[in-house]
């Protein structure tokens, strides 16, 4: 059985008396016999009746194909599915019922022509579809039912087992009560979930992706950054796996088998969310969400989530909401349930108040409204800026990778107390201060939102109003965390964003910060190589050289541009 081959037919209710699966080449009489299966029912408390079992095994022997029924909790036949001699492909049984502590309310009983035990696919379907039970009945040579293998899920345990296998010598010796078993399990799951909820933080499995166009080392570094992002978002990372693939799978990104492995693992570890270190296309996100009842996030969403958590000002909040909605919009085509898990964000912090009753048209309207307001923002900001800087002081803007120490540097230079924290994206709203130079010279110095590799496009667009301020800068201080082994790549990422904002022609000084974290002289050596300045914002060292360089640029190199500046 291959559950991930979800068919999207637009409904998940079975059609009356329709036989699903591999029906090609069956005789009318054989099809007819199967259709009549829908009229049978079994006792809710028995796995299957000996009569129905015999009906299935005789049919299987005659056609040399597996056949299975999905029975609901009342014991009614909901689906009849035909396979080939080795396997059965389940139709899309829908996600009704199966919340995170519910089972599907369906049990699968099917035939195995060689009396073989349950297969990997059987177990995968049991776990991922959260079936009440999976059973396989041996078809004996004479067509009568033989021994029965069955498996059901189990509550969390120290061994990390997801299911328990049992065997009965014949259908007459099947003593497992599927109804009582399922109800007891659901109670257990609900209890475990409440216990974890009170524990607070969501538990996440991270999935790194490398291969084509991304070396193992790059993928590992990126996964490390995803960890930092997760920490910042307040998620507990319980496991991280790296997938190296030559080809990206258009449906599932990492391939169906790998995805199943990860989903099973996440069930074992009782994860709440899987975070992919990649950007999932809308259709990948929807496919993956449909294969699991866990919450699925990608890197962009995680970043958006952090922004949503940290936005303080109403401007900031508007901009984040716009970015979130723009991201969500093309994904609003899945079924309601997978949608709410895609739209949920960490701890349910979806965009705005819209998370429960999202519909595309309303989202579209909201996007238009937000865009208009942000357009207005950008104008009023320009007016405010002109006013603030009526006497035409030069503007010095601090830019750099997130967590590089930009706010700390602003604070240290100006003696102020802008929030500086060891998390990513501590700063979202720009701040300006005055900074005095010797000889009564003054400048305006601004601190703004940090950059990150592959900053989501929607976010850059939404933060246009904030980032536009950088166009007023006479000088950019590009702060680098010299103590981060990945500083080189971070410099590149920042420069590529500056390029996309058309800011590369503004004079720029590389400031190698956190010199105190490196052996003496090392930051200075780096700075020398890249024509920058080494400082420690925390220990206030290197400032003299830094200010000197700023003066040089502002009052010597850029003198003409500066004096010609309109008010």
Q: Which residues are near ligand GTP by CB under 6 A?
A: 400, 402-408, 420-422, 424-427, 450, 513-514, 516-517, 536-538
Choose the contact partner of 14 out of Mg ion, ligand GTP, none; CB within 5 to 8 A by kind.
none
The DSSP element (H or E) to which 199 belongs, if any, is helix 178-199
Please, which residues have CB within 8 angstroms of residue 377's CB and are 6 or more apart in sequence?
315, 318, 465
Choose the contact partner of 466 out of Mg ion, ligand GTP, none; CB within 5 to 8 A by kind.
none
> CB of residue 301 vs Mg ion: minimum separation in angstroms?
22
d(CA 70, CA 52): 12
Nearer to ligand GTP, 238 or 538 (CB): 538
Nearer to Mg ion, 208 or 316 (CB): 316
Choose the contact partner of 221 out of ligand GTP, Mg ion, none; CB within 5 to 8 A by kind.
none
> CB of residue 420 vs ligand GTP: minimum separation in angstroms?
3
d(CA 297, CA 346): 9
> CB of residue 231 vs ligand GTP: minimum separation in angstroms?
13
In degrees and rounded to multiples of 5, residue 208 shows phi and psi of -85, 150
Stretch that binds Mg ion, among 112-120, 326-334, 422-430, 535-543 (CB under 5 A): 422-430
> CB of residue 403 vs Mg ion: minimum separation in angstroms?
8
272-283 b/e (C-beta count within 10 Å ≥ 16 → b):
bbbbbbbbbbbe
Q: What angle do CA 422, 426, 427 make, to 5 degrees?
A: 140
Q: Report residue 227 as tokens.
A: 């960890």
Q: Report residue 178 as tokens.
A: 């599927």
Q: What angle do CA 513, 419, 306 make, to 5 degrees?
A: 95
Q: Are 220 and 190 in contact (CB under 8 A)?
A: no
> Which of 564, 530, 533 lies closest to 548 in space, CA to CA?
533
> CB of residue 397 vs ligand GTP: minimum separation in angstroms?
13
Nearer to Mg ion, 60 or 513 (CB): 513
Q: By CB under 5 A, is residue 426 in contact with Mg ion?
A: yes
Nearer to ligand GTP, 83 or 450 (CB): 450
Q: Which residue is nearest to ligand GTP (CB)?
A: 450
Q: Are 42 and 48 in contact (CB under 8 A)?
A: yes
Give the 3-state DSSP-derived string for 420-441, with helices as H, strands as E and coil as C.
Answer: CCCCCCCCCCCEEEEEEECCCE
Q: Give the full edge-to-edge strand order of the sheet including 295-298.
A: 236-245, 203-211, 273-277, 295-298
Choose the contact partner of 266 out of Mg ion, ligand GTP, none; CB within 5 to 8 A by kind.
none
d(CA 20, CA 6): 13
Nearer to ligand GTP, 68 or 405 (CB): 405
> CB of residue 416 vs ligand GTP: minimum separation in angstroms?
12
> Which DSSP string corresponds to 19-64?
EEES-TT--HHHHHHHHGGGG-B--TTSS--HHHHHHHHHHHHHHT
Choose the contact partner of 513 out of ligand GTP, Mg ion, none; CB within 5 to 8 A by kind.
ligand GTP
> Burial level of 314, CB count in 10 A (0-12/13-18/19+)?
exposed
In degrees and rounded to multiples of 5, residue 381 shows phi and psi of -65, -40
> CB of residue 417 vs ligand GTP: minimum separation in angstroms?
11
Nearer to Mg ion, 293 or 427 (CB): 427
Choose the contact partner of 502 out of ligand GTP, Mg ion, none; CB within 5 to 8 A by kind.
none
Q: Report residue 109 as tokens.
A: 């009983």
Total chain residues near Mg ion (CB under 5 A): 4
Nearer to ligand GTP, 284 or 397 (CB): 397
Choose the contact partner of 149 out of ligand GTP, Mg ion, none; CB within 5 to 8 A by kind.
none
Give the dihedral of Cα atoms 314, 315, 318, 323; nearest 10 deg: -140
Task: Specify the 3-state DSSP secondary structure of 175.
Answer: coil
Q: How far apart, in Å, do the first and last CA atoms of the chain sit?
A: 72
> CB of residue 516 vs ligand GTP: minimum separation in angstroms?
5
**CA dist 60 to 1, 11, 20, 115, 171, Å?**
16, 28, 15, 12, 16
Nearer to ligand GTP, 334 or 532 (CB): 532
> Which of 83, 85, 80, 74 lies closest to 132 in space, CA to CA?
74
Nearer to ligand GTP, 171 or 527 (CB): 527
Q: Which of 407, 411, 466, 506 binds Mg ion (CB under 5 A)?
A: 407
Nearer to ligand GTP, 137 or 426 (CB): 426
Nearer to Mg ion, 422 or 440 (CB): 422
Choose the contact partner of 124 out of Mg ion, ligand GTP, none; CB within 5 to 8 A by kind.
none
Choose the contact partner of 334 out of ligand GTP, Mg ion, none; CB within 5 to 8 A by kind.
none
Choose the contact partner of 514 out of Mg ion, ligand GTP, none; CB within 5 to 8 A by kind.
ligand GTP
d(CA 102, CA 100): 6
Residues shown for the chain: 567
Q: Which residue is nearest to Mg ion (CB)?
A: 427
Nearer to Mg ion, 427 or 513 (CB): 427
> CB of residue 74 vs Mg ion: minimum separation in angstroms?
59
> CB of residue 524 vs Mg ion: minimum separation in angstroms?
24
Q: Which of 22, 57, 111, 427 binds Mg ion (CB under 5 A)?
A: 427
> CB of residue 71 vs ligand GTP: minimum separation in angstroms?
55
Choose the contact partner of 404 out of ligand GTP, Mg ion, none; CB within 5 to 8 A by kind.
ligand GTP
> CB of residue 538 vs Mg ion: minimum separation in angstroms?
14
Residues that bind Mg ion (CB under 5 A): 406-407, 426-427
């Amino acid at each position: 059985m291959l559950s991930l081959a979800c068919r999207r037919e637009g409904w998940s209710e079975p059609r009356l008396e329709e036989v699903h699966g591999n029906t090609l080449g069956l005789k009318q009489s054989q099809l007819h016999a199967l259709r009549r299966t829908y009229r049978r029912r079994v006792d809710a408390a028995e796995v299957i009746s000996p009569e129905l079992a015999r009906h299935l095994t005789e049919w299987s022997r005659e056609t040399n194909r597996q056949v299975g029924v999905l029975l609901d909790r009342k014991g009614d036949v909901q689906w009849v599915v035909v396979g080939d001699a080795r396997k059965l492909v389940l139709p899309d049984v829908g996600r009704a019922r199966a919340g995170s502590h519910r089972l599907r309310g369906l049990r699968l009983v099917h035939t195995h022509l060689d009396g073989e035990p349950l297969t990997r696919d059987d177990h995968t379907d049991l776990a991922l579809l959260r079936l009440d039970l999976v059973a396989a009945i041996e078809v004996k040579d004479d067509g009568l039912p033989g021994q029965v293998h069955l498996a059901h899920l189990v509550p969390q345990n120290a061994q990390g087992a997801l299911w328990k296998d049992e065997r009965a010598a014949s259908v007459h010796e099947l003593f497992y009560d599927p109804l009582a078993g399922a109800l007891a399990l659901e109670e257990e799951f609900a209890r475990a979930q409440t216990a974890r909820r009170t524990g607070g933080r969501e538990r996440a499995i991270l999935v790194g992706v490398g291969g084509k166009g991304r070396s193992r080392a790059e993928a590992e570094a990126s996964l490390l950054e995803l960890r930092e992002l997760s920490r910042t978002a307040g998620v507990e990372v319980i496991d991280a796996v790296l997938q190296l693939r030559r080809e990206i799978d258009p449906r599932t990104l990492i391939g169906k088998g790998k995805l199943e492995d990860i989903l099973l693992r996440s069930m074992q570890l009782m994860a709440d969310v899987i975070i992919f270190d990649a950007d999932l296309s809308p259709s990948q996100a929807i496919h993956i969400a449909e294969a699991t009842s866990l919450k699925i996030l990608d890197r962009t969403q995680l970043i958006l989530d952090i922004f949503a958590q940290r936005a303080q000002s109403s401007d900031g909040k508007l901009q984040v909401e716009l970015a979130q909605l723009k991201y969500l919009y093309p994904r609003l085509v899945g079924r309601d349930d997978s949608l709410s898990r895609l739209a949920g964000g960490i701890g349910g912090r979806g965009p705005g108040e819209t998370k429960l009753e999202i519909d595309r048209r309303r989202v579209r309207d909201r996007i238009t409204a937000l865009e208009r307001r942000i357009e207005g923002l950008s104008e009023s900001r320009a007016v405010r800026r002109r006013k603030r800087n009526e006497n035409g002081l030069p503007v010095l803007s601090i830019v750099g990778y997130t967590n590089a120490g930009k706010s700390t540097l602003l604070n240290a230079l100006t003696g102020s107390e802008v929030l500086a924290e060891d998390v990513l994206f501590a700063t979202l709203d720009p701040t300006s201060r005055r900074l005095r130079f010797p000889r009564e010279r003054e400048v305006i110095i601004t601190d703004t939102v940090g950059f990150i590799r592959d900053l989501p496009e929607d976010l850059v667009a939404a933060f246009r109003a904030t980032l536009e301020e950088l166009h007023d800068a006479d000088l950019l201080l590009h702060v680098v965390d010299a103590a981060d082994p990945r500083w080189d790549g971070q410099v590149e990422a920042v420069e590529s964003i500056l390029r996309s904002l058309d800011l590369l022609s503004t004079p720029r000084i590389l400031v190698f910060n956190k010199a105190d974290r490196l052996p003496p002289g090392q930051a200075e050596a780096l700075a020398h190589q890249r024509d920058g300045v080494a400082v420690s914002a925390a220990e206030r060292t290197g400032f003299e050289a830094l200010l000197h360089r700023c003066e040089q640029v502002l009052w010597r190199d850029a003198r003409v541009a500066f004096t010609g500046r309109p008010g």
